[in-house]
Amino acid sequence: MTASVHAPVDVVCLGESMVTFLPTHEGRLADVPSFVRGIGGAESNVACALAAAGHRTRWVGRVGADGFGDHLVETIAAYGVDTSAVVRDPERPTGIYFRTATDRATDAHEVLYYRAGSAASAMSPHTVPAGAVRSARVLHVSGITAALSPDCLALMRDLTARRQDRPLVSFDVNHRPGLWRSGADPEVLLDLARGADLVFVGEDEAEEAWGLRGASAIREALPEPSTVVVKRGAAGAVSFTRDGLSPSPRSASDTVTTAPAPRVTVAAPVGAGDAFAAGFLAATLRGRPARDRLRHGHLWAAAALTVRGDLAAPPAADRADRLVALDDEAWGRLHLGPGWTGEDQEVRTP
């Protein structure tokens, strides 16, 4: 990586962002008559959500020297994200994709990516300035980037290599089998995750990618990260946080924390994973305890689930803090619906 000078930030998010076309109606892509333009990208979603909450963030990426690239950079910057490290590629296009309105986990969900040979696929250890990445408290990346090209995989291996001068590395597994051509994704993703300090992984994707069942088995396979967060959908999430420092991660003890998810009336089942990561990271930056980090993750995910797009404004900090502080019984009664983050709408409880 080449050296450069960049202002310190709280979080750097590195990865591909694309222009996404959201359907105006439910149904097959073949039947949807029109789409609304938006932006999508796991890492830039996290950067935008954190910036909207007042954290200093930088998105590091690569886009084409085209109108879609203009739209991405301008939209992400409008959230308050530093885009000074984004490279405009005159030879490769900005990626785009179309998707249906249905849940990604269902057979009815369709996604059409037009990202092969995209500008982002040209990211490598030689094209991403080290100063833009390392001048942060946290570096957030995901397994999606590793699938884009051999150069991107080399970049991810470099970023997750353990060295003294790196920030805390946050890694969201984000297993997308359709992006991988070699079939090496399970081994690659496991290796990258083991190099991170904080790992987010869905219980379902861990079973799909690694054949692991249950949160404890996932932690056993990932002993190196100081924190592993296993997302369990509507059932909530569990975090494993290693106590103290140990030469052998397997000999260190964990603090295991579980937080159920509140009930949510879903407007569109997209963006929740990125929002959860952003909420968890925001609480981490604020030095909150493990239970609060998980609950903030759930609340930010609920904000994303109750809007139609991939991105949602996070709940105001004071509002979220009041909900996070509820006792277990009151937390279990929460039922969040569209508009719940608005100042004029109270959270509904049965």
Contact 133, 139 (CB under 8 A): yes
DSSP H or E run through 202: strand 198-202
**Contact residues for 145 (Cβ-Cβ < 8 A; gap 6+):** 14, 15, 16, 43, 120, 123, 152, 155, 156
On whether the CB atoms of residues 206 and 233 are closer than 8 A, the answer is no
Distance CA(280)–CA(291), nearest Å, equals: 10
Q: Give the torsion through C-alpha atoms of 92, 39, 30, 118, to 10 deg.
A: 10
Q: What token pair was written down for 28?
A: 């097959």
The sign of the dihedral angle between the CA atoms of 5, 10, 12, 18 is negative
**Active site annotation includes 274:** yes
**Residue 12 corresponds to which tokens in the numbers above?**
């750097």
d(CA 261, CA 102): 21
Q: How far apart are the first and last CA of the chain?
A: 55
Q: Are 300 and 229 in contact (CB under 8 A)?
A: no
Strands 237-242 and 254-259, by their bridges, are antiparallel
- Which residue is catalytic, options 172, 274, 292, 310? 274
Q: Which residues contact 207 (CB under 8 A, 6 or more apart)?
A: 213
In whole angstroms, how large is the CA radius of gyration of the chain?
19
Cα 318-319-324 angle, rounded to 5 deg: 95
Instruction: Tell me how far apart the alpha carbons of residues 283 and 285 are, in angstroms, rounded to a whole number.
Output: 5
* 44/302 Cα distance (integer angstroms): 18
* Catalytic annotation, residues: 274
